[in-house]
Amino acid sequence: MATARPFRARRIAAIAGLLTAMAAAALMPASQVPTAAGPSPASAAAQSPPKWRMRYFYDEEKSSFEIADLQFPSNKRGLAVGVIVQGGHQRPAEVVTADGGAHWQMIHLEEPPLSLFFLNESLGWMVTTRGLWQTTEAGRNWRKLPHLPSPVFRVCFIDERNGFAAGPKKKMYRTRDGGQHWEPVAAAAEPPGNPEFSAYTWISFATPKFGIATGWNMPPRHQESLPDWMDPESAATRRDTPHLTYSLVTNDGGATWKSQAASLFGQVARVRFGPGGLGLGLIEYPGTFRYAAEVYQIEWKTGKSHTVYRDRRFAVTDIWQMPDGTAYLAGVEAVGQVRGVMPGKVRVLRSSADLADWTEMPVDYRATASRVMLAVPDAENLWMATDAGMILKLQ
Domain-located, residue 164 = no
Q: How far apart are CA 364 and CA 360, in angstroms?
A: 13
Burial bucket for residue 361 (CB in 10 Å: 0-12, 13-18, 19+): middle
DSSP SS3 for 335? coil
pLDDT at residue 242, as a whole number: 73
pLDDT tens digits along 335-371: 765 555 688 999 999 998 789 999 999 999 999 999 9
- Statement: residue 235 has pLDDT above 50: no
For residue 54, pLDDT over 60 is answered with: yes
Number of domains in the chain: 1
d(CA 178, CA 162): 6
Cβ contacts of 260-264, under 8 Å, gap ≥ 24: 260/17, 260/18, 260/20, 260/21, 260/191, 261/191, 261/192, 261/193, 261/217, 262/13, 262/14, 262/15, 262/17, 262/18, 263/10, 263/13, 263/14, 264/10, 264/11, 264/14, 264/15
Q: Is 22 helix (H, G, I), strand (E, B) or coil?
A: helix
In a domain? residue 37: no
3-state secondary structure of 9: helix
Give the range among 92-101, 150-159, 223-232 with minimum mean pLDDT: 223-232
More confident site: 281 or 263: 281
More confident of the two residues 235 and 383:
383
Q: Does 64 have pLDDT greater than 80?
A: yes
Per DSSP bridges, beta strands 368-369 and 372-378 are unpaired
Identify the pLDDT of residue 47.
60
> For 297-318, how does the pLDDT look when each residue is reduced to its tens digit (9 = 90+)?
988 777 788 999 998 889 999 9
Say if residue 42's pLDDT is above 80: no
Asked whether residue 304 is assigned to any structural domain, the reply reads: yes
In this structure, the dihedral spanned by the alpha carbons of residues 228, 234, 236 and 241, taken in order and rounded to 10 degrees, is -80
Average predicted confidence (pLDDT) for the chain: 84
Local confidence band at 15 (pLDDT 50, 70, 90 cut-offs) = low
Give pLDDT, residue 149: 85
CA count, 13 A, side-chain hemisphere, 80: 30
Beta strand segments in 151-274, E: 154-157, 163-167, 171-175, 183-184, 198-205, 211-217, 243-250, 258-264, 267-273
pLDDT band of residue 334 (cuts 50, 70, 90) is: confident
pLDDT at residue number 178: 93
Given a cut of 70, whether residue 140 has pLDDT beyond it is yes
Summarised one tens digit per residue, pLDDT across range 162-189 is 999 999 999 999 999 999 999 999 999 9
Beta-bridge partner residues of 95: 80, 106
303 inside domain:
yes
Q: Do the domain assignments include residue 249?
A: no
CB within 8 Å of 394: residues ≥ 6 apart: 50, 51, 52, 53, 361, 382, 383, 384
Nearest one of 52, 62, 82 to 70, comparing CA atoms: 82
Integer Cα distance of 332 and 95 in angstroms: 23
In this structure, the number of other CB atoms found within 10 A of the CB of residue 21 comes to: 19
Helices then strands, counting H and E runs in the chain, come out as 3, 29
CB contact set of 353 (below 8 Å; sequence gap of 6+): 324, 325, 326
| In a domain? residue 111 | no
pLDDT of the residue at 339: 55
Q: Is residue 48 part of a domain?
A: no
221 pLDDT band, cuts 50/70/90, is: low
Q: What is the mean pLDDT of residues 52-63?
A: 95
Percent with pLDDT over 70 in the chain: 81
Q: Which segment of 58-62, 87-91, 116-120, 242-246 scores lowest on mean pLDDT?
A: 242-246
Alpha helices by DSSP H, 279-371: none
pLDDT of residue 14 exceeding 90: no
Higher-confidence residue: 231 or 295?
295
Please report, for residues 283, 288, 302, the alpha-carbon distance to residue 361 in angstroms, rounded to integers and kept in the order given: 22, 27, 32
What range defines the domain where residue 363 resides?
A: 270-379
Residues 12, 15, 19, 21: what is their CA dihedral angle, to the nearest 10 degrees?
110
pLDDT bracket for residue 24 (50, 70, 90): very low
C-beta separation of 273 from 292 below 8 A: no
pLDDT at 277: 83
The lowest-confidence range among 12-16, 91-95, 164-168 is: 12-16
pLDDT at 267: 87
Q: Is the pLDDT of residue 220 over 70?
A: yes
Beta-carbon contacts of residue 241 (< 8 Å; ≥ 6 apart)? 221, 265
- pLDDT of 231 > 50? The answer is no
pLDDT at 208 over 90: yes
How many other C-beta atoms are found inside a 10 Å radius of the C-beta of residue 265?
Answer: 21
Helix, strand, or coil here: 394?
A: strand
Q: Does any domain span residue 309? A: yes
Q: What is the DSSP letter of 361?
A: P
Task: Output the pLDDT for position 49.
Answer: 82
| φ, ψ for residue 288, nearest 5 deg | -110, 0
pLDDT band, very low/low/confident/very high, at 36 (cuts 50, 70, 90): very low
Nearest to 151 by CA among 112, 187, 109: 112
pLDDT digits (tens, 9 = 90+) for 144-163: 998 788 899 999 999 999 99
What is the DSSP track for 99-115? STTSS-EEEE-SS-EEE
